[in-house]
A and B are shown apart, each in its own frame.
Chain A
Amino acid sequence: MRIMRWLVVLGLVGAGGLYVLARPAPLAAAAVADLTGDAARGEQVFWASGCASCHAAEKAEGEAMLVLSGGQRFPSDFGTFIAPNISQDPEHGIGNWTMLDLANAITRGVSPEGEHYYPALPYASYAKMEMQDVADLYAFLKTLPADATPSQPHELGFPFSRRETIGVWKLMFLSKDWALPGNLTPTAARGRYIAEAMAHCGECHTPRNMLGGLDTSLWLGGAPNPSGEGRIPNITPAKLGWTAADIVQYLTTGFTPDYDSVGGHMVHVVENMARLPESDRQAVAEYLLAVPDVQ
């Protein structure tokens, strides 16, 4: 009986401890205090990071990609996420956010109200972003139009509808370590930064464990498609079997080595990569060829 009671107390302390640890951990204000953003550089960060691929309206093309009114649906094992409005509208978007608010949202997954965001916003990747890039991105977002479309609530079942549960997920899966660690050539290191910190290639191409965390031991080894149909391909070097020139051409034009064209969600990624300088696509190719093979 005594033992039972102890176990209960220990359990409560443990749960309390976990709860404390799993509380949202925003950045200190100093993290961005001395930074000024450059909107032109921020535009590159914006495309490299694929913000518009998720936050533009469903089926938006061309100029409409810059209207970040939200509304796209993202099915997952936990329910359906609906991308919010992040346009410059002060009421329905993020028009009155500070640079610190943006940095907290995309690198820590913490809202201005101090709540956790779901990792459907790929902050597990953006956590590796340089603060200067966030500042530049902030400056670019400021140049974009406002749109008054209200954000929709997500369609999630209990317990995932409770944002507190995300804290535990973050403790387990939020890390600033590279998936491909170690010293790389300057070109491959640039490619790693683009692929892992910004373009979040792993969020689609790497399988997840039961709790929705990326299994980094199978990095880029292919994964079920969260929309339910087909698989997202294994793009580790031996399985892909492409040269660096093949990869660069794919990321520039969307043509595979047999001149079929890219499909599915990868179309957006190619559109984004095509807007970066050629040297950046070469960097991604070099990085991709340095990733360990997954069978």
Chain B
Amino acid sequence: MRVLLMIAAASAVLGSVAVAEEEDPFADAVEMRHGLMLQMATDLGKVGAMAKEETPYDAAVASKAAANIAAIASVLSMDQFPAGSEYQKATDSFALPAIWTAQDDFLQKIADLNSASGAFQTAAGTDLESLKAGMAGLGGACAACHKAYRQPEE
């Protein structure tokens, strides 16, 4: 009896998980794009600390971080942005519906990030002054997309 009850309880829990996943078909995509964005932010943290002169300039570390950002930029595509996975419709999503209504421009913003991160890769490996100067161009590529396609948090 106890066992039966426990099985019933467990299946109820599992059942509710399954239902929750069914209700939000975009969970994976949202998680994936958040992970990619956060990894770029983490790599930027390394070069940013050098730009602020909080840590000494290290060409190898800077180049690696910049290469990571460029690699992630090359992965970004509509795959992580399935239609409908938008703010207030998919859990935790801050992606604005304009992504799908102005898709060509959104893809252009991804292309712009690819060029900016490519240029930054050269700058970051050169010296501290080039790294500092290169940060603005890269930041501009992130901000241009966020301005148009991301709902600001409260």
Chain A residues with CB under 8 Å of chain B are 59, 61, 229-231, 243, 245-246, 248-249, 252-255, 258-264, 267, 270-271, 274
Contacts and interface: CB of A to CB of B under 8 A. Distances in A.
Contacts of A270: 139, 143
B41 A259 contact: yes
Contact of B154 (A230, A245, A267, A274): A230
A245 B53 contact: yes
Contacts, number: 68
B136 interface: yes
B133 to A, nearest CB: 9
B123 to A, nearest CB: 12
5 contacts: A59-B148, A246-B52, A252-B136, A258-B45, A264-B147
* A-B CB proximity, top 3 nearest: A253-B139, A261-B142, A259-B41
B28 to A, nearest CB: 22
A263 B52 contact: no
A254 B41 CA distance: 12
Contact of A263 (B42, B53, B136, B146): B146
Contacts of A254: 139-140, 142-143
B139 A261 contact: yes
Nearest to A260: B41
B59 interface: no
B138 interface: yes
Nearest to B53: A245
A253 B136 CA distance: 4
A245 B44 CA distance: 15
B42 A259 contact: yes
B79 interface: no
